[in-house]
Structures are given as structure tokens and as C-alpha cells.
Amino acid sequence: MKNIKRVILLALLCALSFTAISCTQLDSSKKNRITIDALQVRIPQKTLIARAEIIIKGKVLEIADQFMTNPDGKRTLEDGSVIENAQITVYTVEIQQLYKGEYTDSTIQVLTSNGRGLSPDLILKGEDDTSILAEDLDRLDLTVGEECILMLAYGEQICEEAFGYYLCYGHAGYFTADGNGGYCNAKAVSPVTLTPETLPDDIAAAAANE
């Protein structure tokens, strides 16, 4: 008799647990979800060139600095996702040729972060060095010794005052020197192609359109 009671009790418990689990699953499936849609902007190549304040061909000399964006290395993006080991790298690039703009130093420092571009609030170091001209190229993956073409533009003065860096928004670009690869962080109408051979003509055409 005792055993029968135990069995019934056990069965009852099992049934209750099953019901509880089912209800929990039902509740979780009824949670609302969120979708994010962003309308991107596209810019013709000639406009990108016209807006770039400095266009150079350069050679990467060294990694000048490297540091985490936050003490814990984590960075939370706008959509809530988190990048682990978010790191900023500052490269020193020797200028081999200046195609556009006024720039007198023989080197330029270019700044990038892994994962995605960084915002001024994440530039924690470098504030003391106000001479750096920095660019935010989130897919920039330079290696020492590499030659490349960089399309740069000054950002807001406020960034320099606050963080010691100029930042460029929306029309920074990095291209391999042979024109076989590249990336521009503005959405262009068609793939942007910058090569040493065509650049002077492209710049002249862009200037003529202004």
C-alpha cells in the first residue's frame, strides 16, 4: 500500500514538474523580440574623393601604440552586442606621396579598432598627444612594411580638444597600393577603387565637379 502511495506521489510530482516546465517554455516563447533596420547612405566615388582632405600613398613603419578600449577589454555596441578584447592600434605610416591636401610631416598616424569603428568616448589613451591625426577605419588591417593608399578627412575639432585625436566620420578609406583591395567606411554607390595610376585623374575630375 505504501509503495502504491509512493508511486502515485511520484507520478503526481512528475506531472506537476512537466506542467511547470511546459508553462515556462510557453512563456519564454511568448517573449517579444526586437529587429533593427538601418538605412545606409551611399556616396559616389567622386564625392568621396572630393570630401577627402588628405589622400596619400604610404608605407606602414611600425605599430606605435596598442591598448584596450576599456579596462576589461569589452565594448558594448549600439545594438547591445558586446565585443570582447576590443583593442585600439595606432600605426605610424611613412608618407611616400601626397596626392591631395596639405600635410607637411613625413609620417602620419592612423588609428583603428578591431570589431567595429570606435567612438570618441572609447579613446582612453593618447589624450596627451595632441599631434596625432587619427582615422577610424574599422576594417583596417595593416601590417608593418605594407604599402597602401589612405583617404582621410578631418573630423570635428571637438574630438581633438577632448581626446587628442581628430576623427573622421563616414569617408575614411584604406586601399591596397596595387588597387586590388580596399575598404571605405562610407557606403559608396559602386566599389571605390583607388590606384596610384588613376588617382591624379580621379582627383582632378572630382575637383572639376565641385
Partner 1 sequence: MNKKFLLITLVFTMTICFIPFSPIKAVADSSAPVITSPVQYDEVDPYTALTITWTAPTSGNVSRYIVSVRELKVDGEETGTLIVNQRIIPSVTTSTTVDAASIVRRGYYRASVCAVLSDGTYHYSAERYFYSGITKGVQSGKCLSFKIYTGFTDGTKDAIYYASRAWINGIGAELINTYAYSQGVSSDSFNNSDGVNTITPYIDFDAAPMTTYTNWTYDYQTAEVDIRVNKNFLWSNNQTEDTLDIQNFITHEFGHAHGVVHKHEEYAESWTMYHEAGYEEISKRSLTEHDILSAKRLNGLT
Q: What is the distance, to the nearest Å, from the Cα of residue 120 to the centroid of all Cα atoms in its chain?
A: 12
Does 36 participate in binding partner 1 (rule CB under 8 A)? Answer: yes
Does 101 participate in binding partner 1 (rule CB under 8 A)? Answer: no
Largest separation between any pair of C-alpha atoms in the chain: 100
Does 94 participate in binding partner 1 (rule CB under 8 A)? Answer: no
Residue of 38, 71, 161, 208 interacting with partner 1 (CB under 8 A):
38
In whole angstroms, the minimum distance from the beta carbon of 187 to partner 1 comes to 6
Does 190 participate in binding partner 1 (rule CB under 8 A)? Answer: no
Does 189 participate in binding partner 1 (rule CB under 8 A)? Answer: yes
Residue of 87, 89, 96, 119 interacting with partner 1 (CB under 8 A):
119
Task: Write the DSSP string, 91-141.
Answer: EEEEEEEEEES---SSEEEEEEESSS---GGG--S-TT-TT-B--B-TT--
In whole angstroms, the minimum distance from the beta carbon of 20 to partner 1 comes to 19
Question: Binding string to partner 1 for residues 68 to 87, with x set by CB under 8 A, is what?
Answer: ----------x---------
In whole angstroms, the minimum distance from the beta carbon of 121 to partner 1 comes to 10
- The dihedral region occupied by 143, where left means phi > 0, alpha psi between -120 and 50, and beta the remainder, is beta
C-alpha 29/C-alpha 121 separation (Å) is 37
Q: What is the distance, to the nearest Å, from the Cα of residue 197 to the centroid of all Cα atoms in its chain?
A: 28
Amino acid occupying residue 173: G
- Please identify, using beta-carbon distances, which residue of 6 and 187 lies nearer to partner 1: 187
Using the 8-state DSSP alphabet, how is residue 72 labeled?
T
Task: Give the dihedral sign, CA 116/117/121/124.
Answer: positive
Residue ranges binding partner 1 (CB under 8 A): 29-44, 47, 78, 116-120, 136, 138, 167, 169-170, 187, 189
